[in-house]
């Protein structure tokens, strides 16, 4: 199975790669799509400013490959801003379009008493229906580092939610074999590793089988 970690210069790729390898996924790290055969799994981390991440991602040349991958419903994992750029856009960078995989706009936390950014451990709540969360209690704790969030809504496939600064937001989004987390599973100790192992197990279970001749 061919798994590619997209290294477009705007993500914590070293920690993500280490955690996924520990979870059982052999990865190839790629800065450009040049020479890549069709991957079975794509991983897109991201951290920093929405506009800068989108610019780095577009300049990397990966956008057509990612869109084709998602259209084919092959396993995909987005992390932190790698989740946010799947939306239509963000208040952090007005006028900069996201990928539009999910409808909606990423919002900024507004609070007079909670510190922004939201940084540290918080509860992740889920209803137990997602296979990605098998073996994880509700709630479990995960590590967050962000100032912007995706509001929960009826049009989003929200697999898990978290509350901070008076706002309930999507901490995990799913769509087919697409998974995206607002928190950092690579920094979330046992819970994060359990989630990554579940992702890897699902990817292995759904990998294409060679045609018989």
> Which of 8, 17, 69, 80 is the catalytic position?
80
83/181 Cα distance (integer angstroms): 6
Residue indicated by tokens 């069709």: 38
How many CB atoms are located within 10 Å of the residue 174 CB?
19
Q: Is 63 a catalytic residue?
A: no
Q: Is 184 a catalytic residue?
A: yes
> Which of 17, 92, 174, 186 is the catalytic position?
186
Each residue of 54-86: b (16+ CB within 10 Å) or e?
bbbbeebebeebbeebbeeebbbbbbbbbbbbb
Q: Is 206 a catalytic residue?
A: no
- The residues annotated with a catalytic role in the active site are 80, 184, 186
């Amino acid at each position: 199975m061919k798994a590619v970690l997209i290294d477009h210069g705007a993500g914590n790729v070293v920690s993500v790669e280490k955690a996924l390898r520990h979870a059982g996924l052999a990865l190839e790290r790629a800065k450009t799509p040049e020479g890549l055969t069709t991957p079975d799994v794509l991983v897109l981390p991201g951290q920093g400013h929405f506009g800068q991440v989108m610019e780095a991602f577009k300049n990397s040349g990966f956008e057509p490959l990612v869109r084709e991958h998602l259209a084919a419903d092959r396993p995909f994992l987005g992390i932190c801003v790698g989740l946010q750029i799947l939306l239509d856009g963000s208040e952090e960078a007005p006028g900069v379009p996201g990928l539009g995989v999910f409808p909606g706009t990423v919002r900024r936390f507004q609070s007079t008493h909670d510190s922004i950014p939201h940084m540290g451990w918080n509860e992740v709540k889920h209803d137990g229906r997602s296979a990605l969360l098998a073996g994880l209690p509700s709630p479990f704790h995960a590590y967050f580092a962000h100032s912007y969030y995706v509001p929960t809504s009826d049009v989003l496939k929200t697999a898990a939610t978290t509350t901070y600064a008076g706002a309930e937001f999507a901490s995990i989004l799913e769509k087919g074999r697409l998974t995206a987390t607002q928190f950092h599973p690579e920094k979330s100790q046992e819970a994060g590793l359990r989630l990554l192992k579940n992702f890897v197990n699902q990817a292995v279970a759904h990998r294409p089988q060679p045609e018989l001749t």
